[in-house]
Amino acid sequence: MFVLIATNIFNFILYIFLIQYGIVSGFTLRSLTVKNRKTRLSYQAHSSWKTFVSTNLNPISAASEILNEIPRNSPPQIVFLFVGKAHGKSFEKIVEQVYTSLPSGTRLLSIVGGGVIGENSEFDEPSKPSMAIMTGKLPKGAEIEVFSFNELKKPPPPPESEYWKKLDSSSYLLLADPWSPVTDILKGLSVASSTVERDAVVVGGISMAVGAKPTVAVDANALPQGSLVGVGFRGTLSLQAVVAQGCQPVSRIYTVTACEKNYIRELDFKPALKVMEKCISSANENIVEQRKRSSGIVCGVARKGDYLIRSIVGCRKNGFSIAGKPLQTGDMIRFFVRDKNAAKADLDLMLKRTEMERSLQPDNVPTPVAALQVSCVARGRQLFGVPNMDVSKIQELLAGPVGGFYANGQIGPVGIAGFSTNGKNPVESHVHGFTTIAALFCEHDYKSSSNMVDSLSDKALDVWG
């Protein structure tokens, strides 16, 4: 009897202690989740950009949960919706639900990812339901221009079209599906970037396929297979890009001596397939083990002191084909495997380069207020063994929130871009694999940027589509 009374007294004291320190409330542990969530959100409490996440099993309920978090007294002007693949079949309903619940005039851009990022956390397991929203308010003197193209129904104009020459945004963010004309649009935007005075930055990501269903959307419209949605930023809002690779070299550098578009026939005048097989067989046991745990050996194409990682998509005769843009004779390549230590080291290096670039800028350097993170589906905890590796590093670059998704391909430059403010310095963007890209939203001084603001739609949309 005494033991029972003592046990009850102990449990009562423990319960009072937990209530006092906010660990429990009433007779549930729900407030423990709320408390942790508030901690995660503290960094965005006073920001003009915010992120919200739901892991509700029901897609409609998940959308309602994140919509309830948007402050009605300070409505956003642009919203990004990231839907995890587990909710992908309900993408069209989710998009319509979210858009009709937003204030009139708010632009909504949506995409299906392998997972989502928000509230300073990565939800990187495609089989588990996740949904995130990122909301933003534009600073004074900023403008956005939303556009979309489709491979078959409304293809982009050719690079020599006046459309591209009349676009003069300083930055572009692209959300594409795997069948969209990404390469053609990157060519066109490289023409547009030659007209601006800042570094022109183009970043984005490719969605996860859900059969033949739509995986990208603009406003309430889920777009058919083969579509891309883009948004241009100009005036007092621009993007800076930080691109971190995730592979370790396992060979020396080779020269492409014979190729046909994406098919490499010879390396250093030797059959390319035999060269690759020799690289695999000569790799030490540790590297071979890494290769078994990864998605296999990949190919890196040399660009500006770094490498664009390309998947090897097929072998025939004496050569092999790689994903991405066509190659040319004289291109330099190297073989790689995915490696967590190399991924950590490269991300740290990019962060250091970013800090160095900032230290060299004048006093009116733009302020990063938020970041959109696009990470390869092969990263996350399956690569690093721990959660939130990439997002915790990116969070070091800014005081605002980070939101984003896990992509089937990442769009961005090599290394870092968007930090030069003196003169034109166009930066070429590519489709990457195994990378993490951070697109930093940067606010500029209104007085120095106000003369750049007028209507893009008056200039470009009447030229094409």
pLDDT of residue 280: 77
Per-residue pLDDT tens digits for 158-173: 988 888 878 878 799 9
pLDDT at 436 over 70: yes
**CA atoms of 168 and 452, how far apart (whole Å):** 9
Antiparallel, parallel or unpaired: β 107-113 and 78-84: parallel
Antiparallel, parallel or unpaired: β 332-338 and 298-303: antiparallel
pLDDT at 4 over 50: no
- How many CB atoms within 10 Å of residue 214? 21
Question: What's the whole-model pTM score?
Answer: 0.83
Which of these ranges, 226-235, 359-368, 405-414, 444-453, has the smallest mean pLDDT? Answer: 444-453
274: helix, coil or strand?
helix
Q: Structural domain boundaries of the chain?
A: 1-45, 109-245+342-460, 247-336
Per-residue pLDDT tens digits for 71-101: 888 889 999 999 999 999 999 999 999 999 9
Helix (H) or strand (E) holding 273: helix 272-282
Query: What is the secondary structure of 339-394 as a DSSP string?
Result: -HHHHHHHHHHHHHHHHHHHHTS-TTPPEEEEEEEEEETT-THHHHSSTTHHHHHH
pLDDT of residue 88: 96
Rg (CA), the chain: 24
pLDDT at 456 over 70: no
Amino acid at 169: S
Pick the residue with more confidence: 238 or 422?
238
Antiparallel, parallel or unpaired: β 402-407 and 367-376: parallel
- Angle value at C-alpha 202, between 405 and 208, nearest 5 degrees: 30
Confidence band of 287 (pLDDT split at 50, 70, 90): low
pLDDT of residue 270: 96
pLDDT winner (highest mean) among 40-54, 182-196, 216-230, 321-335: 216-230
Q: Is the distance from CB of 238 to CB of 141 less than 8 angstroms?
A: no
The overall average pLDDT reported for the chain is 83
Compute the average pLDDT of residues 220-239.
94
Compute the average pLDDT of residues 171-179.
95
pLDDT of residue 464: 45
Per-residue pLDDT tens digits for 324-370: 888 999 999 999 888 889 899 999 999 999 988 888 876 667 889 99
- How many CB atoms within 10 Å of residue 85? 26
325: helix, coil or strand?
coil
Q: Which residues contact 237 (CB under 8 A, 6 or more apart)?
A: 138, 139, 142, 143, 144, 171, 441, 442, 443, 444
Nearest to 369 by CA among 421, 447, 443, 419: 443
- How many CB atoms within 10 Å of residue 323? 16
pLDDT of residue 266: 97
Amino acid at 369: V
